[in-house]
Amino acid sequence: MNKITFLDKYELISSTDDFKGVFDKTLEKECKFCGKKVSDGVTFNNIPHVLPQLLGKNNYTSNEECDDCNKMFGSFETDLANYISPYQTLIGQKTKNKVPNFQSRKQERQKSTTIVYKNGNPNINFNSNLCDFQYDYKNSLLNIKLRKKKFIPINVFKSLVKIGLSLCPKAELQDFKKTIKWLSKDDSKENIVYDIPLYLFRTRFSKKNRKIHLLFCIKEKLKILDIDMTLNYV
């Protein structure tokens, strides 16, 4: 029986390796998102990062993102930062320069619970917020409530989608015109929550892999021949 592998079904179309230090301010540019050039009135002075530096310092840059689009995408990253910040502190994941300190949301005249990453360990100070933690003696587990700063979930999602589109070669973006339009649409007003689980980053930033920045963009191949549909992920 022929088994197909992951790469029989999907093909690699780009990776962060293709963007290593490519920003060149002397090039004549066209924005891959809005399609505008300098002659259309946009500028290309900022250095856009394919992978936001809040996920770690990196040099994966682009020549295909105008300053207007860069500014708009940057606004989503504030929500992404608020969403992931306690996890970054807990595992010691640096943003551009350092591991961020975490301060929980607080009521008036109340002190925050803080987490500071020091000497390879997160140091947690609950102050008077004793309800923020419970110790499960039976299973030796410490359960901590992380009261994150306010964030807009749809913007967190948008910032992740934008990373995918940034990695995507220009020719492929023909199929994502609606997605690009949706990115610039303000559909976030009534959609604010505080705490939702973070499975993605818990997986991505395991202790073993947290310094690796490599991302891949893959797409499904158009046709597969007769096959046993068991996929062996590689």
Residues found near Zn ion in the complex (CB under 5 A): 31, 33-34, 66, 69
The vertex-20 CA angle with 14 and 21, nearest 5°, equals: 140
Of 66 and 99, which has the nearer Cβ to Zn ion? 66
CA dihedral (151, 62, 27, 97) positive or negative: positive
Of 33 and 102, which has the nearer Cβ to Zn ion?
Answer: 33
Nearer to Zn ion, 42 or 218 (CB): 42
Q: How far is the CB of 64 from Zn ion (least distance, A)?
A: 9
CB closer to Zn ion, 70 vs 82: 70
For residue 105, the one-letter residue type is R
Q: Least separation, in Å, of the C-beta of 68 and Zn ion?
A: 5
Q: How far apart are CA 99 and CA 96, in angstroms?
A: 9
Comparing CB distances to Zn ion, the nearer of 8 and 68 is 68
Q: Which CB sits closer to Zn ion, 156 or 165?
A: 165
Minimum distance from residue 13 beta carbon to Zn ion (Å): 21
- Rounded to a whole number of angstroms, the minimum distance from the CB of residue 66 to Zn ion is 3
Alpha-carbon dihedral sign for residues 26, 32, 37, 41: negative
Q: How far is the CB of 82 from Zn ion (least distance, A)?
A: 25
For residue 60, the minimal CB distance to Zn ion (Å) is 18
